Amino acid sequence: MTILVFAEAADGAFKKSSFEAVCYARHIGNKTGAPVVAVALGITDAAVLESLSHYGADQVLSVAGTSFDHFDAQTQSAALAAAAQSLGANTVIVSNTYSGKAIAPRLAVHLNAALASNVVELPSLDNGFRVKRGVFSGKAFAWVDMNADSKVIALTPNSIDVTRDERSASYNTMNFQPAVASRLQVTGINKVSGKIPLTEAEVVVSGGRGLKGPEHWGMIEELATALGAATACSKPVSDMGWRPHSEHVGQTGITIKPNLYIAIGISGAIQHLAGVSSSKVIVAINKDAEAPFFKAADYGIVGDAFEVLPRLIAAARSGAQQA
Amino acid sequence: MKILVCMSVVPDTTTKITFTDGDTRFNTQGVQYIINPYDELALTRALELAEPVNGSVTVVHVGLADSEPSIRKALSIGAGEAVRINAEPTDAQFVAAELAHWAKDKGFDLIMTGRESIDYNSGAVGGLLAAMLDMPSVNVITKIDVQGGLAHLERDIDGGRESSQCSLPLVVSAQKDLCEPRIPNMRGIMAARTKPLAVVEPAAGGAKTHYQKYELPPAKQGVRLIDPERAADLINILRNEAKVI
């Protein structure tokens, strides 16, 4: 009854969300006595692999034998299924990232497992295996019973605390050859360098129509840089082409749950609030004291973004220098 | 080219979500239903790909008879035929198993879904279906062109975009930017009335989860307003009281 965690890597190191997934597995392991095995695909650097033991992995398994340099959900899920089967693992935790979401369903089919994605809290094990997942695009949550011996869980990043739990882990390798040759060929990757990906950000600065035009986005970016934040926008802003769709948060955009969400010049329509309401702390800045966002916010400033933003940028920068 | 578009029907995006029966059921009273927005993008792009090569676009939906107005809308947008698998869509695994069972011997070259439904947000049906049919799958695509049996794709990845190519058959899930949704015209609406909408009974089974209880996000305690002249105080509060920066 082993718990397997897929430790997703980017640029040769594990993502913070992978350590979070290990912590999630550790919690389950502490309750059930099951060992936690973190599985890495194509990562062989011993120091990198060791980082997984800091968060509670009892064993680290490095899978090699085929190239994992380019992402193919078919190959990666088959490799993880082979690892799960060789270890007799019945529970698999992945991060609910773009890659994790592509892998989890395929893995569930391989393992004949119950699947829950978009999971936001530790499971309840008192009566079966019950997880909490986000539904209605952030407008609600559901407690879901997973009724199968095997389970695949995709954990939304920034859902639980990442706490250190040092283990003297054992290290193993496994050779994997896909039964079906990959038909997918990656031809190019275009990463926005130097920017924090919105889906992984702990702080997000977001702008709406109140900014009046794309030429004013410099202020949003300056505040984001000073706070180490990612930038986002409302639906009208992406619909008008001021910002790319990939920055649109809301019901038909991305649902995020950072520690801090700062909304500037966004009124707070129900569809927008759906995408951000799981943020731990929400700040609304709007000229209109009646803007619905103030009802959903922890802190608010009723004022003109063009006057308030420079003050915030200056204050954020001075603190950043002291730190 | 034979394209299959898997379509779900969801509450309109302006819906205020509430629950009944001790928070165990979604309250459907007064709710307007629409085609899942991402599925509508998949359908539109499927039509754009099929039309120049005289291909076909079939829409399939797992749901009860009350979904038929949305299925007719899909036909009025331009799908050639539709199939409704007559069952309540209880979870992603149930839906995918029904879709796979129905589609497995139909010879589709390309199967398209939305990247997720905006009600249950599993984002899983495409991947489940692909694994069940033993096909490759590419999620959250923002671009697809097909030439000589080869799909050229772009997809969102964390912090950027990736381009790739893959031979057919293939399962993809649609993300924003894929196309502009097509609005049905009068001719399409008239034509949709006589297009075939077959109803088949479920055959596969396969739900592995049970939705036990729902809850709404906790209400906020009330906003603490900060004087705009002293906006810098906000940064101090976030740093020292809320401790989020």
Work out the minimum CA distance from A41 to partner chain B, whole angstroms.
Answer: 18
Tell me which residues of chain B have a pLDDT lower than 70. none
Residue B245 lies in a domain: no
Residue B225 lies in a domain: no
Nearest CA in chain A to B179: A245
Mean pLDDT, residues A230-236 taken together: 96
Q: Which domain holds residue B142?
A: 2-213
For residue B4, what are the contacts with CB-CB under 8 A and spacing of at least 6? B57, B58, B59, B60, B103, B106, B108, B110, B111, B112
Q: Which of B93, B132, B226 sits opposite A301 (nearest CB)?
A: B226
Task: Report whether pLDDT(A321) > 70.
Answer: no
Across the interface, whether the CB atoms of A186 and B158 are under 8 A apart is answered: no
Residue B241 lies in a domain: no
Task: Report whether pLDDT(A174) > 60.
Answer: yes
Across the interface, whether the CB atoms of B127 and A251 are under 8 A apart is answered: no
Task: Report whether pLDDT(A319) > 90.
Answer: no
The whole-angstrom separation of Cα B142 and Cα B217 is 31
Residue B218 is predicted with a pLDDT of 86
Q: What is the CATH number of the domain that holds B144?
A: 3.40.50.620
CB contacts < 8 A, A to B, total 268
Residue A121, CB half-sphere, CA atoms under 13 Å: how many?
14
Across the interface, whether the CB atoms of A282 and B245 are under 8 A apart is answered: no
pLDDT in tens, A260-298: 999 999 999 999 999 999 999 999 999 999 999 999 999
Residue A191 is predicted with a pLDDT of 84
Across the interface, whether the CB atoms of B210 and A144 are under 8 A apart is answered: yes
Q: Which of A12, A104, A2 is nearest to A49 (CA)?
A: A12
Selected from 3.30.365.10, 3.40.50.620, 3.40.190.170, 3.40.50.2300, the CATH number assigned to the domain covering A2-175 reads: 3.40.50.620
Q: Which helix (H) or strand (E) holds A85?
A: helix A73-87
- Residues in B touching A259 (Cβ below 8 Å): 244
The whole-angstrom separation of Cα B236 and Cα B234 is 5
Residue B232 lies in a domain: no
Residue A200 is predicted with a pLDDT of 83
pLDDT in tens, A58-79: 999 999 988 898 999 999 999 9
For residue B29, what are the contacts with CB-CB under 8 A and spacing of at least 6? none
Residue B83 lies in a domain: yes
Crossing angle of helices B125-133 and B92-103, in 10° steps, is 40
In chain A, where the domains are located: 2-175, 198-322
Task: Report whether pLDDT(A151) > 50.
Answer: yes
Q: Which residue has the tokens 């007799």?
A: A88
Q: Tell me phi and psi for residue A118, to 5 degrees.
A: 60, 35
Residue A322 is predicted with a pLDDT of 46
Residue B188 is predicted with a pLDDT of 97
pLDDT in tens, B215-244: 998 888 899 999 999 999 999 999 999 999
Q: What is the DSSP letter of B44?
A: H
Q: Can A2-175 and A198-322 be said to share one CATH topology? A: yes
Residue B25 is predicted with a pLDDT of 96
Mean pLDDT, residues A106-135 taken together: 97
Q: Tell me phi and psi for residue A50, to 5 degrees.
A: -65, -30
The whole-angstrom separation of Cα A279 and Cα B33 is 28
**Under CATH, domain A198-322 is a member of which superfamily?**
TPP-binding domain (3.40.50.1220)
Helix-, strand-, coil-residue percentages of chain A, each rounded to 5: 35, 30, 35
Across the interface, whether the CB atoms of B160 and A189 are under 8 A apart is answered: yes
pLDDT band at residue A93 under the 50/70/90 scheme: very high
Across the interface, whether the CB atoms of A301 and B166 are under 8 A apart is answered: no
Residue B15 lies in a domain: yes
Residue A257 Rama label (left phi>0; alpha psi -120 to 50; beta): beta
Task: Report whether pLDDT(A323) > 80.
Answer: no
The whole-angstrom separation of Cα A107 and Cα A3 is 14
Q: Which of A105, A142, A245 sits opposite B124 (nearest CB)?
A: A105
ipTM > 0.90, yes or no:
yes
- Residues in B touching A204 (Cβ below 8 Å): none
Residue B219 is predicted with a pLDDT of 85
Across the interface, whether the CB atoms of A105 and B209 are under 8 A apart is answered: no
DSSP for A204-257, please give it: EEEE-GGG-SGGGHHHHHHHHHHHT-EEEE-HHHHHTTSS-GGGBBSTTSB---
Q: β-strands B150-157, B160-167: how paired?
A: antiparallel
Q: Which of A21, A18, A56, A60 is nearest to A39 (CA)?
A: A60
Across the interface, whether the CB atoms of A316 and B245 are under 8 A apart is answered: yes
Residue B187 lies in a domain: yes
Crossing angle of helices B92-103 and A98-111, in 10° steps, is 70
Q: Which of B193, B185, B150 is nearest to B168 (CA)?
A: B150
In the predicted model, what is the mean pLDDT of chain A? Answer: 94
Across the interface, whether the CB atoms of B128 and A109 are under 8 A apart is answered: yes
Mean pLDDT, residues A216-240 taken together: 96
Residue A26 is predicted with a pLDDT of 98
The whole-angstrom separation of Cα A203 and Cα A208 is 17
Work out the minimum CA distance from A39 to partner chain B, whole angstroms.
Answer: 20
Residue B233 lies in a domain: no
* Interface-testing mutation among B40, B110, B158, with chain A (most A C-beta atoms within 10 A): B158
Q: What angle do CA A13, A19, A23 make, to 5 degrees?
A: 165
Residue A320 is predicted with a pLDDT of 60
Please tell me the total count of domains within chain B: 1
- Residues in B touching A270 (Cβ below 8 Å): 13-14, 16
